[in-house]
Structure 1
Amino acid sequence: MKSEMDVGTEAYEQIEKINHKNQLLVQQLNTSLHTQAEIRELVSQITNEKVDTSTEIRLPFYTDFGQNLHIGKNVYISNCSMFVDLGGIYIGDNVLIGPNVTIASVNHRVQPMERRHLSFKSVYIHDNAWLGANVTVTPGTVIGENAIVAAGSVVTKNVPKNTMVAGVPARVIKTIKE
């Protein structure tokens, strides 16, 4: 996918068609009771990738697009998490995502006349990372292997592996021994 997209273009219209279909699935997912198997099946339809049976997803679950969300094995996603994935979100294995986490891979341009147009930067969350409650991860950031992002933090820069970050903006507060 390109790093930018203009509203009103043919490419944008194609995205809107996929988005419309997936929003119906997201609504179906969040307005009925489902087993974990049913949740994984619906999320698999939304992402267009099979969600592994070891992954657990709590409802409600939100995504604005879905097909650029990639979920590893043995992932736990808590309730009310939001994935703004048009730019790509890659979640490794054994990742824990707390409640009310927002991960965004899309932003708007700075110039006022272009503000409604989109820019994309993928987000990568590596194996064994843990994002606490109410964390926000901004476009283009990488969360390293075994890293912990403390509750309420806003990640604006890459998080090194084996570290704990906290704050707004998040900064390293501790090294984690393996």
Structure 2
Amino acid sequence: MPVLSEATRAQIRAELERYPERRTALLPALRAIQAQFGWLPPEALHEAGELTGFDANALAQLASFYSLLYLKPVGAYVLQMCNNAGCYLAGADSLIEHLEQRLGVKVGQTTPDGVFSLRLAECIAGCDRAPAMMVNRDHVENLTRERLDELLATLRHEHESRSAAGSTGRNGAGPASARPAASTTQSEEEDNRG
């Protein structure tokens, strides 16, 4: 029985038709699958392999290269704190500890309620506004403990509102309401690893 929705299957077929080289359509296909599920389930990768002509293992290997493609279930909001030199020197290490304490999880874990996943990112190109992190696909920069607390409260409220309205608020793009206007920019990066 198919696990991919007809809309996702149609999107993958459209991507395959769009590119003369089939492998070029793989990344957009993986994004389409993740948009449906919030991550890349093995059954969906197998089905996508049948559609694209590539082995499911090859698709999983491709996905593992990108930090915004997830091979395991993640929270509705994936928090990726940059721990590269610029952010580290600006205090990212203490902010990571603060996030672990506030969320009750360690880096690499998801909160029991499935709202937040905490990860590290090597560099998110926000060194001039460090420390920085990504919330799903959005940059949040010039972070402090207070700003993190504010952001977590906003995200939790938004998640509760979406849940009450019947929407899961999955991790495609970060929420507009969570973006502090002066210091957040839309990320150009589309995908990454699980």
Taking structure 1 as the reference length, the TM-score comes to: 0.23
Which of structures 1 and 2 has the larger relative contact order (alpha carbons within 8 angstroms, sep 6+)?
2
Q: TM-score, normalised by structure 2?
A: 0.22
Q: Rg: which structure is higher?
A: 2
Greater per-residue strand proportion: 1
Report which of the two has the higher share of helix.
Answer: 2
